[in-house]
A = this chain, B = another copy of it.
Amino acid sequence: MQPRFAILAERRFDKENAKTATGAIRYIPDQIVAVIDSETAGRTAGDVLGYGGDIPVVATIADSLELDPPPDALLIGIAPPGGGLPAEWRSMIASTLERGLSIWSGLHTAIGHDPEFRRLADEHGVEIRDLRLPPPDLTIGTGAARHTDAYRVLTVGMDCNVGKMTVSLEVRRGLTERGVQAAFGGTGQTGILIDGHGISVDAVVADFISGAAERLTLEAAVDADVVLVEGQGSLLHPSYSGVTLGLMHGAMPDAMILCWMPGRPFIYGGRYDWVQLPSIEEGVRLHEEAMAWVCPEQPSRVIGLAANTHNMTESDARRAIEEAGERTGLPAVDPIRFGMEPLVDAVMKAAGVSAAPTV
């Protein structure tokens, strides 16, 4: 049985800081009882984010337990750079375990490896699920993923935090709606939470990035006609580029969808303002080149562009998307704002699959 979650997002309940929270609210809203954030308490997720409907925001874990039904697990709603636990959250997690709730976490710092938390969980008979914990038997990649019968599509990005997971999930949904057997390959804590399996490729031993990507791609490919592998990081982001390239060379995509935020001139976050982003057409070219390094004979192509325009007016968004489409000759859309159909069409055409007849 899937747990009912309260999501801890204290003082961080926004789209930039609470990626795990916002992903869960968008994709598994039926499992979310409440969000915990004293700053926005009294409002709803829908008010704060623009989606999430009536899910209430409450000030404390105790408040969430007054709800009917109450949560039976606490989900850590953030995944900060470096992935550590904010110091001021320790006491909240301890008291949650004491109240008999499980903890689900996507932090790099494994909650279950903390002696105090481990002891409390054992005492109160509750579970700690560290979503980022890799399987113990990983090894290096071998290129085996390039032989799946399923067509492999990887989302890549001009930057982090531009919507790669969302695009993979939306295209999967669109394909499923048309009767195509489409699977999702989760590569990060939020994707794994939503889909129930996958491997957090940024948390494995560095030598095993492509091996982890290969394994999750092969597993997702069983019985699927198309696999949507969730991208991570960006080749252009100095902190995460290694994970991105290892993921690309392990998943061995037949095709890529390039995600970006129109108008963002630098890698996001003030500390990276020395990394100037290239044009979108240059972004297409460099991702295709990085795949060609290991697959010169069977090159992977970018087949579509996915914009994240949540901070733009509708007319600005439409103009930016149209311009990118013209400059690259590729289908381009903001799949959340304007629908994922152009990307679903592009994947079906590239994969050579057709819609199942509706009865």
The chain A residues found within 8 Å of chain B, CB to CB, are 81-84, 108, 139-143, 201-211, 235-247, 249-250, 252, 271-272, 274-276, 278, 286, 289-290, 293-297
Contact = CB atoms under 8 A, between A and B. Distances in A.
Contacts of A276: 296-297
B206 A293 contact: no
A210 B242 contact: yes
A272 B296 CA distance: 13
The residue in A81, A207, A290 that gathers the most chain B C-beta atoms within 10 A of its C-beta is A207
B297 A207 contact: no
Contact of A210 (B239, B246, B286): B239
B240 A140 contact: yes
B293 A243 contact: no
26 contacts: A81-B139, A82-B139, A83-B207, A108-B205, A140-B239, A140-B240, A143-B238, A202-B205, A202-B206, A202-B207, A205-B205, A206-B246, A207-B239, A210-B241, A236-B293, A237-B294, A238-B249, A238-B294, A241-B249, A241-B293, A242-B242, A242-B247, A243-B246, A244-B245, A245-B245, A276-B296
B241 A246 contact: yes
Given A140-B82, A238-B294, A294-B241, A201 B210 contact: no
A295 B108 CA distance: 28
Contacts of A202: 205-207
A26 to B, nearest CB: 24
A205 B202 CA distance: 7
Contacts of A289: 286, 289
Task: Report the 7 A-B pairs with minimum CB-CB distance, sorted nearest first.
Answer: A242-B246, A82-B139, A202-B207, A140-B239, A209-B242, A238-B249, A238-B294
